[in-house]
Amino acid sequence: MSIPGKIVPEALKTLGKDNATVSYPKDKRTMPDRFRGAVEFEPEPCTGCGMCERHCAADAIVVEADADGNVTWSYDVAKCMFCGQCEESCPTDAIVMGKEFELAASDKPAFEDSYTFKR
Amino acid sequence: MSEKASGTEIPVGPQHPSLKEPANFTLTVDGEVITGAQMKLSYNHRGIEQAVLSKSYIEAIYLLERICGICSHAHTSAFTQGVEELLDLEVPPRARYIRTLIGELERIHSHMLWLGVAGHEIGFDTLWQYAWRDREIVMDLLEEITGNRVHYSINTIGGVREDLTDEHCETILEGMDDLAERIDFYQETVPNEETVRMRCEDVGVVPEDLAREYCAVGAVGRASGVPTDVRKDAPYAAYDDVDFDVITDDRGDLLARTVVRIGEIAQAIRIIRQVAKRIPEGDLKASAKPPQALLAQVPEDDVVSRYEAPRGELIHYVRADGTDTPARVHIRVPTLANWPTVVESLKGSYIADTPIVVAGIDPCISCTSRIGVETDGNHGGENAFDLDELREYGIEWYDDRSDVERPSLDGDERTVSGGTRGDRA
């Protein structure tokens, strides 16, 4: 900036500052408490009501029940857009948005997560 | 918008005409001066208006949020305000304040982003790096409050999903103090800087009568002396409870738009400080019912919702048919309203000024692409097609152009649902 009297103080101030970026992956930022990463599921409290599937805009969650009362809850992190509506819609807090954000993988099955349990 | 003028034609775009988005300008030039301009849009139609019809109102919030990566809160607010009006829900004051706060933080980050891009377009990369570094103050605050830097997902029907703690208010006020210092610096230096003045003064001028005639919105209209601002004209959220000024300028050139946008950042800081200090206690949602119960009550009706996005007036039209999915959603983004002024202000500019004149309205090109979808058969004009007519038009188009290769049938097969996806492996 060429305004006289502005450039020198600005340059001196900037000299004393740290880098604005972090050197990822060597250094990593700590994520804030409310950060929404991959969905974490706990089968114990789940009632199999399917509200998470119904409110998932990305169709990342599928809940199926068979005739014997077994519920299969499956989740595809590659489809997930991390909005957190499933956590909000779950009446029994079986779903929590986790902190995991390094989710890249080279094979498709690695994105899929599935739990089968009796209800 | 189309005006033929004799002379050399220069195509600009559709690949990266200045921003990393597609739009095509055909400029007719006389030497270095542009004498005529035509533009073509809709290179990246995404079908969001159609996709939203297959989603419930709750899911639609997250789909519509992804229309834009910069004004995501604007789209969710406009949509939820519309649905709340349909449901006749009274949003609690605390939720209205939080919406205002996020909306203003978003306005700061959008304007700082634009300031950086504008600096880059005029070859002033120091300004670009400075503006984007200082923008991180706001991005960090947004991440802290909502959990995400870009798609905040804080709006829900009837209120907001996350509360604001006292620590948040303190962090926000501290962040605003730091930012206010930087904005003072930009207000003093940017409009007086020699590089900025040389590239922006009297470039891309939109006079007031032209801005009015073409219904320019947002900072483009305000920089031409049209004091249009939905926050004042039809206050939503908590805007009738906070004090702020509508920044206007009467010069109408790029420098005026820069000054107006920096001034708006200062006003946004003023609003955020008031919100952080005065936020009332209370509920976050209008109704304690689960979302599915609310969706079951949406009546058969339609609504138009307006919101002052960082780029100008955003309009969402929602028609409900009594089910939990909308029957029609139409979105008019501010960039669409501002394109005609770009075509007009390009005329008479130098070729080298094209990038900054195009970038001067802060365009969001992929947000703009829309296509008319007819739902009841009453609105078809002479340009309306049904599927068979569209097919016939396509075949004729290729018949007339023997040198253009027809899309192969193999290509078609891949898009058929349940097609050959598995077989390709």
Q: Where are the domains of chain B?
A: 48-368
User: CA B296, B298, B304: angle at the middle one, nearest 5?
Assistant: 155
ipTM at complex level:
0.91
Reduced to 3 states (helix: H, G, I; strand: E, B; else coil), residue A91 is coil
pLDDT, tens digit (0-9, with 9 covering 90-100), for B376-404? 556 556 667 777 887 888 888 888 888 87
Residue B418 has pLDDT above 50, yes or no: no
Whether residue A20 and residue B136 make contact (CB cut-off 8 A), yes or no, is yes
Q: Name the pLDDT band for B2 (thresholds 50, 70, 90).
A: very low
**Looking at the partner chain, which of B66, B153, B290 has a beta carbon nearest the beta carbon of A84?**
B153
Question: What is the pLDDT averaged over residues B347-362?
Answer: 90
pTM: 0.87
User: Quick one: CA torsion of A62, A66, A71, A72, rounded to 10 degrees?
Assistant: -40
Show Cβ contacts of residue A27 under 8 Å, excluding neighbours closer than 6 positions. Answer: none
Can you list the domains of chain A with their CATH numbers? 29-118 (3.30.70.3270)
CA distance A3 to B247: 25
- Least confident among A10-19, B106-115, B240-249, B284-293: A10-19
Residue of chain A nearest B141, judged by CA positions: A32
Residue environment code for B258-274, b if the CB has 16+ CB neighbours within 10 A, otherwise e? bbbbbbbbbbbbbbbbb
pLDDT, tens digit (0-9, with 9 covering 90-100), for B61-115? 999 999 988 999 999 999 999 999 999 999 999 999 999 999 999 999 999 999 9
Round the average pLDDT of chain B to a whole number and report it. Answer: 87
| Choices 1.10.645.10, 1.50.10.20, 1.10.357.10, 2.40.160.20: CATH for B48-368 | 1.10.645.10
Question: What is the pLDDT averaged over residues B192-211?
Answer: 91
Chain B residues close to A2, C-beta within 8 Å:
193-195
User: In this complex, is the C-beta atom of A8 within 8 Å of any C-beta atom belonging to chain B?
Assistant: no
Residue written as token pair 């008019």: B332
CA distance B346 to B9: 14
Chain B residues close to A99, C-beta within 8 Å:
none
Whether residue A35 and residue B126 make contact (CB cut-off 8 A), yes or no, is no
